[in-house]
A and B are shown apart, each in its own frame.
Chain A
Amino acid sequence: MSDHNCCNNNPLVPLQCKLIGITEETPDVKTFRIQCADGSKPFTPLPGQLAMISLAGIGEAMFSITAQGDDWIESAIKRVGLLTEALHSADIGDAIGVRGPYGNSFPADALKGKDLLFVGGGIGLAPVRSLILHVLKNKADYGEIDVLYGSRSYADLVFKADLFENWPKQLNTHITIDAAEDGWDGHVGFVPSYLEEKAFSPKNRACIVCGPPIMIKFSLEALERMGFAKENIITTLEMRMKCGIGKCGRCNIGSKYICLDGPVFTLSELDELPDEK
């Protein structure tokens, strides 16, 4: 694991880092830009990989890495518990611990030459964003790119600058919100039904799906009805994690540890695992 970075060569001890940027995405999602205390980049993750993020005295948890630059990594984090609550009240310059990267990654090479359809719901756009950014950087290697994304309301859409300014210039966006609201003239409805409405052709197209479990479930079913082969449907799994290094036993599904062997799986790989997601 030569690319893994931690403190004192002990994979469970975090690097001492600092927050160098905080972006409010939605009322309960913020993006945190993180750099080592000495100004260097913590590590260079592959698209889809995870980081263990901690606040001293509060705890640590695993998050997907949303983006990276020359000397930082970024994670978009939803406020759901004690640690994320504390993260949301942190300020620029605050100390933060990071170790990683963890897990496998999206098969960016195997996807070359294909049309790509990204399907996301809510905070589920966070893990796939790293791949979307990677693909846009290497656009010549990939075919047509579509992003179909939805949230409960306009306010709950994450990465609005990407969705409404940056990405429309480079790929096809299809944005939906669950219920009609004033000032929204875009699509209204749930992600899975919007997906079927759009009737994307499965020909030479791979689909990457991330979001809440229920959205994933119905989207996967919709994609199969649309004729996508299981090998061409990719998703990420979420399990509770403690160590991130395949030791604590917490994140298993069958004999796989999500922190090592996941979080990215094709639907055909998921079918091999016991139904316990």
Chain B
Amino acid sequence: MTQKLLLKSALPAALTALLADHAVFAPTGEAERHAFTCLSSAEASETADAVNLDGLTTISPKEILFPRSETLYGIGLENGEISTPEPTGPTVIFGVRPCDVRSIANLDCSFLEKGFVDTAYVQRRENLTIIALACKELQSPACFCDSMGGGPASAEGADIMLTETADGKAFLVSFLTAKGEAIEKLWETASVLTEPNSADTAPPPPVCTLKVDKPQDLPAKLMAAFDDPAWERLSESCLGCGTCSYICPTCYCFDIDTEISGGKAEQLRCWDCCMFSDYSRMAGGHDPRPTKKERLRNRFLHKLAYFDERHGRTLCVGCGRCIAKCPSGVDIAHVIEWGGTL
């Protein structure tokens, strides 16, 4: 596999070339609003201003595949006619960090495996090309991707991998899949790629400072501790605010609800959170997880044990977002560490 060079000065042209026949999502905004948004052609050509490739986005890119709210179908209240939304076309996500790219494999497990295939998801997923960006520096002290099977330069799941050169003026570009090669052609045609010379090298990737000791048998250890009083302590400060799952790239639970507008009932799918108090309460009032202790335990066991049993992967890629943003200091790294000591 040969590497090409994409000069940062050629980024506007590269993004504009993609926009010809793709919707292009890239990180924009800053701080709390740092998130992936769909670029307009004006934003693409003014990349220097609009696209913000510095740091991990506050909001993960999962909403490109799994929107926070979407219409599954509409049904006419008078005529009972069913209408389904238009499928989305070819889409590129540009500048996704390795942890977030790995999180897509987790979403794939849930939406595509074990019997049913989710129609809306598979349609978007097949149309998606992932352009990943290796981390040149550590994004935050809460990053622990290299304890979770990934790493700041991991290309797992990427169609194209970008690695910033030591001088910071360009990206080394590897085209890793057929989808990636299709974009290579597009970029060749648009003359945005050049040949790297010997000076264009990438510095060694950073190493996460947060080290989490995750033993092989963590699922079994945590399951054996199902009745441990530690869950009660861990959940004491939790507010049930849902921030952790909202910003988590791998959390995929959803609610389905109905909304009426213009003579039509829209069946909507929205993000949900297992930490909300009414999450598993049934119509008759019975709730198998009545307090935050059971809810927090379910959240962490889902991430660290149940998902592994079902799909053979941990439902956490170590992006550190929940650690950085939980208002109460609930910390998944502590839970993993504690599990390891059991």
Contacts and interface: CB of A to CB of B under 8 A. Distances in A.
A239 B280 contact: yes
A249 B283 contact: no
Given A12-B73, A13-B73, A242-B255, 14 more contacts: A12-B72, A13-B267, A56-B75, A57-B265, A58-B258, A60-B267, A95-B80, A213-B286, A240-B282, A247-B252, A248-B256, A249-B274, A250-B280, A260-B115
B119 A57 contact: no
Interface of B: 72-73, 75, 77, 80, 82, 84, 110-111, 114-120, 223, 226, 252-258, 260, 265, 267, 269, 272, 274, 279-284, 286, 288-289, 294, 298, 301-302, 305-307, 309-310
A10 B84 CA distance: 10
B80 A1 contact: no
Interface string A97-108: 100000000000
A128 to B, nearest CB: 18
Main secondary structure of the interface of A (DSSP, over half): loop
Nearest to B121: A247
Contacts of B269: 12
Contact of B116 (A7, A58, A247, A274): A247
Nearest to A10: B119
Main secondary structure of the interface of B (DSSP, over half): mixed
B253 A274 contact: no
B284 A80 contact: yes
Contacts of B305: 255
A243 B254 contact: yes
A198 interface: no
20 contacts: A10-B119, A11-B119, A12-B267, A56-B77, A56-B258, A57-B260, A59-B257, A61-B283, A80-B283, A240-B281, A242-B256, A246-B116, A247-B111, A247-B252, A248-B272, A249-B253, A254-B223, A254-B306, A255-B305, A275-B226
A195 to B, nearest CB: 22
B134 to A, nearest CB: 31
Contacts of B116: 1, 4, 11, 245-247
A153 interface: no
Contacts of B284: 80-81
